[in-house]
Amino acid sequence: MKSFIKGLPKAELHIHIEGSLEPELMFELAARNNISLPFGSIEEVRKAYNFSDLQSFLNIYYAGAGVLINEQDFYDMTWAYLKKAHAQNVRHTEIFFDPQTHTNRGVPFETVIYGVHAALVDAEHELELSSKLIMCFLRHLSAAAAAETLEQALPFQDLIVAVGLDSSEIGHPPQKFTPVFDQARALGFRTVAHAGEEGPPEYIWQALDLLKVSRIDHGVRCVEDTRLVERLAAEQTPLTVCPLSNVKLRVFDSMEQHNLKELLGLGLCATVNSDDPAYFGGYMTENFLAVQQALALDRDELQRLVRNSFEAAFLDQAERQRFIQELDSYVADTSR
């Protein structure tokens, strides 16, 4: 099963690039940029990765991102993620970035996007790994700040497929961002939003009805609302579920209690993703392995999860069909 999972051609749809910054590279960049970290050693950093909820993680995640200063830093972080993804047979990835985490520290928007984008171009050529970029607004900041960020992104619009919404969920409902999402859609961006990770089903309704999202990021709390589950199933709205993240941030007490198998059983378009792999203990293969073992997922369920992510990706139909064929051939070849 382990080699079957590792070899599966995969798509990743929920990865915060700042969450792929491993402690080793964090230390290297801190030294390169003369920044002092609140940790004495790599072991100390890893020990601090003991979270009680989303906010306790975000505090450390924003501090870690403080070592990113120059274009090369963003390139190195992104390239390290892409190499790792490639080694796990991720064939397509849709990457979140949080410009405000950097522009609020005085790092120019173009430094961030040029550094990340250069690595994506190299991955396309050298690793045959395709990708898209999704720009997230930090929801604990104001709607006006999000609008300003959208404005800053306009010269780079051809590099960004969609806008999203992340950071502290509770107390920051999607509704707060309706006007800026309206503006983004009018400009041609697709939309996604984190909803129903820690927040209530009501936030998922708002993401659908007000932000008109193509996908819900996380969404695991949808099961508390039968009508919502019916809507998500009828429209096959993808949920980008992140199993290791959910256990690390105590959305579920253990992997055995995760509702991924239930979501599939309800006919929902669930997918598996890593969220912030450097902080939560694993990339795509580790996420699949952990849920497969805890919930005894069979090969059909694994194939369904991966197929869902190709269906849910912002790909054109020809690319989508090519990936799904690759997946189907892989499954057929490994069952003989």
- Biggest distance spanned by C-alpha atoms of the chain: 57
Q: Which of 9/282 has CB closer to ligand HPA?
A: 282
Q: Which stretch binds Zn ion (CB under 5 A): 86-94, 109-117, 268-276, 301-309?
A: 268-276
> Can you spell out the DSSP letters for 145-186?
HHHHHHHHHGGGGGG--EEEEES--TT--GGGGHHHHHHHHH
Q: How far is CA 188 from the centre of its chain?
A: 21
Q: Which of 279, 291, 284, 294 is nearest to 50 (CA)?
A: 279
Shortest-Cβ-distance residue relative to Zn ion: 275
**Residue 197, contacted partner among Zn ion, ligand HPA, none, CB below 5-8 A by kind:** ligand HPA
Give min distance, CB of 273 to ligand HPA, in A: 10
Shortest-Cβ-distance residue relative to ligand HPA: 166
Q: Which of 123/249 has CB closer to Zn ion?
A: 249
Residue 336's CB is within 10 A of a number of other CB atoms, namely: 4
Measured CA to CA, the distance from residue 301 to residue 94 in angstroms comes to 22
Binding mask 275-304 for Zn ion (x = CB under 5 A): x-----------------------------
Q: Which of 9/219 has CB closer to ligand HPA?
A: 219
Q: Which of 37/204 has CB closer to Zn ion?
A: 204
Q: Which of 12, 169, 197, 198 is catalytic?
A: 197
Q: Which of 283/323 has CB closer to ligand HPA?
A: 283
Q: Which of 16/91 has CB closer to ligand HPA?
A: 16
Contact (Cβ atoms closer than 8 angstroms) between residue 152 and residue 109? yes
Binding site for ligand HPA (CB under 6 A): 16, 19, 54, 61, 166-167, 194, 197, 245, 275-276
> Can you spell out the DSSP letters for 10-38?
EEEEEEEGGGG--HHHHHHHHHHTT---S
CA atoms within a 13 Å half-sphere pointing along the CA-CB vector of 253: 1
Q: Which of 160, 6, 22, 29 is nearest to 85 (CA)?
A: 6
Q: What are phi and psi of 300, to 5 degrees?
A: -65, -40
Contact (Cβ atoms closer than 8 angstroms) between residue 107 and residue 69? yes
Determine the length of the chain. Answer: 336
Active site residue 197: yes
Q: Which stretch binds Zn ion (CB under 5 A): 64-72, 124-132, 272-280, 322-330?
A: 272-280
**Residue 167, contacted partner among ligand HPA, Zn ion, none, CB below 5-8 A by kind:** ligand HPA
Q: Which of 94/275 has CB closer to ligand HPA?
A: 275
Name the residue with tokens 């008109």: 212
Q: Which stretch binds Zn ion (CB under 5 A): 51-59, 117-125, 184-192, 273-281?
A: 273-281
Please calculate the CA angle 98-175-244 and round it to the nearest 5 degrees.
50
Contact (Cβ atoms closer than 8 angstroms) between residue 239 and residue 263? yes
Give min distance, CB of 217 to ligand HPA, in A: 8
Burial string for 127-136 (b: 16+ CB within 10 Å, else e) reads bebbbbbbbb
Interface with Zn ion (CB under 5 A): 275
Which residues are the active-site residues?
A: 197
